[in-house]
Chain A
Amino acid sequence: MLAKGVKRPRGEMEGGDPEPRDPSAAPASSLFNISMVKLHQSLRHVEPNLRHLVLVANTLRRMQDQMQREAGGPMAPDSPEAPSVGDDLLLSALDSSISTMLEDLGQVEVLSPARPEEEQPLAGASGARQELARTSAPCLGPLELLSSASYLLEDGLEDIFEDIDTSMYDCDLWSPTSLSGFKAFSGAEDSDSKALAGAEDRLDMSDLDYLMDVLVGGHAL
Chain B
Amino acid sequence: MFLKFSLRSIFYGAGGGGNDIQWCFSQVKGAVDDDVAEADIISTVEFNHSGELLATGDKGGRVVIFQQEQENKIQSLSRGEYNVYSTFQSHEPEFDYLKSLEIEEKINKIRWLPQKNAAQFLLSTNDKTIKLWKISERDKRPEGYNLKEEDGRYRDPSTVTTLRVPVFRPMDLMVEASPRRIFANAHTYHINSISINSDYETYLSADDLRINLWHLEITDRSFNIVDIKPANMEELTEVITAAEFHPNSCNTFVYSSSKGTIRLCDMRASALCDRHSKLFEEPEDPSNRSFFSEIISSISDVKFSHSGRYMMTRDYLSVKIWDLNMENRPVETYQVHEYLRSKLCSLYENDCIFDKFECCWNGSDSVVMTGSYNNFFRMFDRNTKRDITLEASRENNKPRTVLKPRKVCASGKRKKDEISVDSLDFNKKILHTAWHPKENIIAVATTNNLYIFQDKVN
Contact = CB atoms under 8 A, between A and B. Distances in A.
Interface of A: 1-4, 6-14, 16-24, 26, 28, 31, 34, 38, 45-47, 49-52, 54-55, 57-59, 62-63, 66, 95-96, 98-99, 102-103, 105-106, 108-109, 111, 149, 181-187, 194, 197, 200-201, 203-204, 207-208, 211
B351 A50 contact: no
10 cross-chain pairs, A with B, having the tightest CB-CB distances, nearest first: A16-B349, A187-B221, A99-B234, A102-B233, A50-B208, A46-B101, A183-B186, A23-B290, A99-B233, A200-B182
Contacts of B161: none
A22 B181 CA distance: 51
Contacts of A21: 345-346
B298 A51 contact: yes
B248 interface: no
Contacts of A207: 184-185
Contacts of A55: 258, 294-295, 298, 354
* Most-contacted residue by chain A among B98, B181, B220, B258 (CB, 10 A): B220
B346 A103 contact: no
B222 interface: yes
Interface stretch (B74-82, B274-282, B388-396, B420-428): B420-428
Interface stretch (B163-171, B236-244, B301-309, B328-336): B236-244
Given A186-B220, A197-B220, A54 B237 contact: yes
B250 to A, nearest CB: 23
Interface string B341-364: 011111011111010000000000
A183 B220 contact: no
A16 B76 CA distance: 53
Interface string B97-109: 1111100000000
A125 B319 CA distance: 41
A123 B100 CA distance: 22
Nearest to A96: B234
B2 interface: no
A184 B188 CA distance: 12
Contact of A23 (B185, B292, B421): B292
Given A106-B229, A187-B220, 18 more contacts: A3-B426, A4-B423, A6-B350, A16-B350, A19-B346, A23-B292, A34-B348, A46-B99, A51-B239, A51-B258, A55-B258, A59-B295, A98-B236, A106-B233, A109-B188, A111-B98, A182-B185, A183-B186
Contacts of B232: 99
Interface in B258-285: 258
B67 interface: no
A105 B188 contact: yes
Given A47-B101, A59-B295, A203-B182, A20 B422 contact: yes
Given A9-B426, A47-B99, A49-B190, A183 B212 contact: yes
Nearest to B212: A183
A44 B432 CA distance: 29
Contacts of A34: 348-349
A17 B208 contact: no
Given A2-B350, A17-B349, A50-B208, A185 B185 contact: yes
A106 B207 CA distance: 14
B344 A50 contact: no
A83 to B, nearest CB: 16
Contacts of A54: 236-239, 258
B183 to A, nearest CB: 9
Nearest to A28: B291
Given A9-B350, A18-B346, A201-B179, A50 B209 contact: yes
Contact of B343 (A10, A20, A63, A201): A20
Contact of B351 (A11, A45, A58, A105): A11
B233 A50 contact: no
Contacts of A99: 232-234, 236
* Most-contacted residue by chain B among A54, A55, A102, A105 (CB, 10 A): A55
B22 interface: no
B166 to A, nearest CB: 29
B94 interface: yes
A48 B354 CA distance: 14
A12 B221 contact: no
B189 interface: yes
Nearest to B232: A99
Contacts of A17: 346, 349
A106 to B, nearest CB: 6
A51 B237 CA distance: 9
A145 B236 CA distance: 22
B190 A50 contact: yes
Contacts of A52: 354
Interface string B213-251: 000000111101000010011101111010000000000
Nearest to B104: A47
Contacts of B233: 98-99, 102-103, 105-106
Interface string B156-180: 0000000000000000000000010
A159 B184 CA distance: 30
B189 A50 contact: yes
Contacts of A8: 350
A99 B232 CA distance: 8
Contacts of B100: 46, 149
Interface in B287-326: 290-292, 294-295, 298
A210 B41 CA distance: 36
A213 B13 CA distance: 70
* Most-contacted residue by chain B among A38, A49, A51, A108 (CB, 10 A): A51
A204 B294 contact: no
B345 A183 contact: no
Contact of B221 (A106, A186, A208): A186
